[in-house]
Amino acid sequence: MKTSRGAAILAIITAALLILPLVVHDTFVLRVLTEGIMWIGLAIAFDVIAGYTGYLNFGHGAFFGIGAYTIGILMMQAHLPFWVALPLGGVAAALTALIAGIPTLRLKGAYFAIATWALSRAIQQLALNVEFTGGPDGMRLEAFLNPLFFYYLMLITVGAIFLVLWYLLERAPFGLKLKAIREDEEGAKALGLNPTMLKMQSFILSAIPTGILGGIYAYWITFIDPSSTLGDLVSDQAVVMVVFGGMGTLFGPALGAILIFAFKTIFWAYLSDFQLLYLIILGALIAISVIFIPNGLWGTLVKRKAVARPQEKPEPASEPAALSAVAVPEEGN
């Protein structure tokens, strides 16, 4: 019953978002919505590796930037059409994940966290220093000024990302395997799972959507430079959204993305001089969330509800379930 009600709410939201542009013609509103939807996609993609697998990727923005630059370079220098370039943006992000993951995913979480962060800094340096990216001047793409097209493209892409991730992480055994690694890597290994392989798959699964969203962003905004697409703000925001919203779920990051993005939009609209203040707020928000709501907003809300209605048996905690349930599909192989 709970699932069907959730599905109904989601269907209503989706329908509302689909009809919305027919009612609202203001381009500013459309732009804000498009970007908001994009951030939902980025946040849930980040959560695949961070929340479900328990490996923090502090350089998530690198995939976004790589996607953006891949599309920019392929469209402007190889003159490929957008629809050919876009999937290649995802491929480029996946390759980067593979290259970065091979040495780091064998190791403990701390290595991965700081190595991905260092990688994103290194990639930004690379984009600043090589010729074909335009260096610090950035890159201008062919303008295709159709806000409606990008609104729907973003909506459909993020919707598809959400459905694919929801199926893989919440319905297929894959999600349980990842959770098993998060809870107890040695235990998962003892059950016959290959943690390194699974971590790699989840890292790539997190990178592909991010690269594709970066590509759409590049074509939409038509101008990319190392500080806007490869800067640390993209990664920092993704971390805040997921930690504040709630790790290890799909709805938590989405909620976090909506709230943080709404806050940012209002904040920047009224206080455009204080962009640096935003950095302080982001950092403080991470610290406060960690101390007071370690399960994130979504986790805290869901738990409250479960406590308030004791007659309804709360869903079994994912920790032990993850380990025991994983064993079943493995035996079939």
As beta bridge partners, residue 139 has 224
Which residues fall within 8 angstroms of residue 234, CB to CB, at 6 or more apart?
Answer: 42, 60, 61, 64, 65
CB of 47 to another protein, least distance (A): 12
Tell me: does residue 193 bind another protein (CB under 8 A).
Answer: no
Q: Residue from 154, 161, 178, 285 that binds another protein (CB under 8 A)? A: 285
Write each residue from 25 to 64 as x if it is in contact with another protein (CB under 8 A), else as -, in one continuous string: -------------------------x---x-x-x------
- Tell me if 176 contacts another protein by CB under 8 A: no
Nearer to another protein by C-beta: 147 or 253? 253
Q: Give yes or no for a contact between 160 and 216, defined as CB atoms under 8 angstroms apart.
A: no
Neighbouring-strand partners of residue 223: 140
Residue the block writes with tokens 């203040």: 277
Nearer to another protein, 126 or 148 (CB): 126
The CB-based long-range contact list for 188-195 (8 Å cut-off, 24+ gap) reads: 188/323, 188/326, 191/323, 191/326, 191/327, 191/330, 192/327, 192/330, 193/326, 193/330
| Shorter beta-carbon distance to another protein: residue 14 or 129 | 129
Asked if residue 16 binds another protein (CB under 8 A), the reply is no
Residue 218's alpha-carbon distances to 40, 213, 223, 281, in angstroms, are 17, 9, 6, 27
Binding mask 93-132 toward another protein (x if CB under 8 A, else -) reads: ---------xxx-xxxxxx-xxx-xxx-xx--xx-xx---
Chain centre to alpha carbon of residue 206: 7
Of 28, 137, 146, 283, the residue at the interface with another protein (CB under 8 A) is 283
Between 257 and 276, how does the x/- string for binding to another protein read (CB under 8 A)? -------------------x
CB 16 within 8 A of CB 155: no
Interactions with another protein, residue window 309-328 (CB under 8 A)? none
Quote the least distance from Cβ 13 to another protein, whole Å: 27
Helix, strand, or coil here: 223?
strand
Residue 57 DSSP label: -
Told to check if 182 binds another protein by CB under 8 A, we report yes
Residue 187 contacts another protein per CB under 8 A: no
Contact call for residue 286 and another protein (CB under 8 A): yes
- Which of 10, 191, 278, 327 is in the footprint of another protein by CB under 8 A? 278
Q: Which residues pair with 224 in a beta bridge?
A: 139
Q: Which one, of 215, 108, 207, 97, lies nearest residue 154 by Cα?
A: 215
Contact residues for another protein, defined by CB under 8 A: 50, 54, 56, 58, 102-104, 106-111, 113-115, 117-119, 121-122, 125-126, 128-129, 182, 232, 236, 239-240, 243, 247, 276-287, 290-291, 294-295, 299
